[in-house]
Amino acid sequence: MLVGTIVNTITVITGSLLGMLLGEKVLPERLRDTVMKGLGLCTLYIGLTGLSGSSNALIPIISMVVGAILGELLDLDGRLNRFAQKLENRFQKEGDGRPSLAEGFVTSSLVFCVGSMTVMGALQDGLTGNHDLLFTKSILDLVSSTIFASSLGIGVLLAAVTVFIVQGGIATVAHFLAPFLVDVSTSEPSAALTEMLIVGSILIVALGLNLLGITKLKVMNYVLALFVPILLCTFM
């Protein structure tokens, strides 16, 4: 059930170590900036391509609103940043000139863990034992983590823990949510799963805009919106 998650975690660790080894000398800032902008454009494209297919436009709209309210009330973005800041204070000396551990941890955790590939791949792992989608994601994360770690440092490596917990958690929970996520008679994704992937695509668009430097959205505060469609599709 967790094979795909384990492989993905290993690729993030490998890419992070490679990026930290190569560093800024081998990967100059101009090259890293250009590649990151390219990844931002690809992220935006992936998000946009997943926005169609909703049976009721109100479901993703309500999901985003409810998710935003819950995220703000729980201060998910703030909690994640404060946790990362504690790690930074523990492992980095003030004023040492190294990249922010907090920035690397938060940015890479969101890029690696928020989106339709994460959700759908982990769900496939948990529901069917199919690891193909997470294997594909692993290749993308290998490249991303190398680029991230060359400029953002050890925070990207620590994000491998987030990848394992988030994807492994979704795969495990999927066993218990199977009746809501898959049509038993056809083995096709249910309406709830379809809407979850659309909400995930909206969050991918937000990540793409952030990577391009166009916005500074607190994407973490919207993460709970991914699970609201399960309730909405049950009662709507």
Judged against a pLDDT cut of 60, whether residue 203 lies above it is answered with yes
What is residue 11's predicted lDDT score, i.e. its pLDDT? 95
From the list 2, 37, 34, 32, the residue with the least C-alpha distance to 211 is 37
Judged against a pLDDT cut of 90, whether residue 152 lies above it is answered with no
Query: How many domains does the chain fold into?
Result: 1
Q: Which domain holds residue 45?
A: 3-235
φ, ψ for residue 162, nearest 5 deg: -60, -45
CA distance 229 to 50: 16
CA distance 8 to 24: 25
Is this structure's pTM higher than 0.85? no
What is residue 59's predicted lDDT score, i.e. its pLDDT? 94
Q: What is the pLDDT of residues 165-192, one digit of tens each?
A: 999 998 898 877 777 677 666 667 788 8
**Beta strands, E only, 99-180:** none
What is the average pLDDT score of the chain?
A: 83
Q: What is the pLDDT of residues 74-123, one digit of tens each?
A: 998 888 888 877 776 776 555 555 556 777 888 788 778 876 678 778 87
What is residue 157's predicted lDDT score, i.e. its pLDDT? 92
Q: What is the pLDDT of residues 31-54, one digit of tens each?
A: 777 877 887 888 788 889 888 888
Q: What is the pLDDT of residues 108-118, one digit of tens each?
A: 887 788 766 78
Judged against a pLDDT cut of 70, whether residue 161 lies above it is answered with yes
What is residue 16's predicted lDDT score, i.e. its pLDDT? 92
